[in-house]
């Protein structure tokens, strides 16, 4: 198969309705993380401007203020992120979200 035909086949694959739905969902996840301030705060930490403790405290403070439905949405969101389907920082943010939610939901085990 020549390169042009292979490129055309790959384009067709990425143009399916399923792939479009996946991309839309990943974009919604990315937008959610940005709108909650998690991305900017994570980059502050990554650049050494804030400590790990300040980062997780920020996440915790935001998550505590959200209603339970939004928290569960964010927990599901964190399960959707893998190193192969999102930016490295979004994957790490998802792990922090999940850990902080577990601490909120089961405080006796983590305090």
Task: Please write the tens of the pLDDT for every residue from 43-65.
Answer: 999 999 999 999 999 999 999 99
Q: How far apart are the C-alpha atoms of 81 and 62, rounded to whole Å? A: 20
Burial of 76 (0-12, 13-18, 19+ CB in 10 A): exposed
Name the band, by pLDDT with cuts 50, 70 and 90, for residue 15. Answer: confident
Instruction: Tell me which of 23 and 64 has the higher pLDDT.
Output: 64
- In this prediction, residue 83 carries a pLDDT of 85
- In this prediction, residue 53 carries a pLDDT of 97
- In this prediction, residue 111 carries a pLDDT of 63
Q: Is the pLDDT of residue 70 over 80?
A: yes
Q: What is the mean pLDDT of residues 20-34?
A: 92
Name the band, by pLDDT with cuts 50, 70 and 90, for residue 37. Answer: very high
């Amino acid at each position: 198969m020549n390169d042009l035909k292979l490129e055309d086949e790959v384009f067709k694959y990425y143009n399916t309705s399923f792939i479009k739905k996946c991309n839309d969902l990943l974009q919604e996840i990315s937008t959610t993380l940005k709108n909650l301030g998690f991305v900017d705060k994570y980059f502050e930490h990554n650049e050494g401007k804030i400590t790990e403790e300040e980062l997780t405290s920020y996440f915790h403070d935001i998550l505590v203020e959200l209603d339970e439905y939004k928290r569960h949405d964010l927990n599901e969101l964190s399960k959707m992120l893998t190193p192969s389907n999102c930016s490295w920082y979004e994957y790490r943010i998802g792990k922090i979200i999940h850990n902080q939610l577990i601490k909120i939901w089961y405080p006796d085990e983590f305090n």
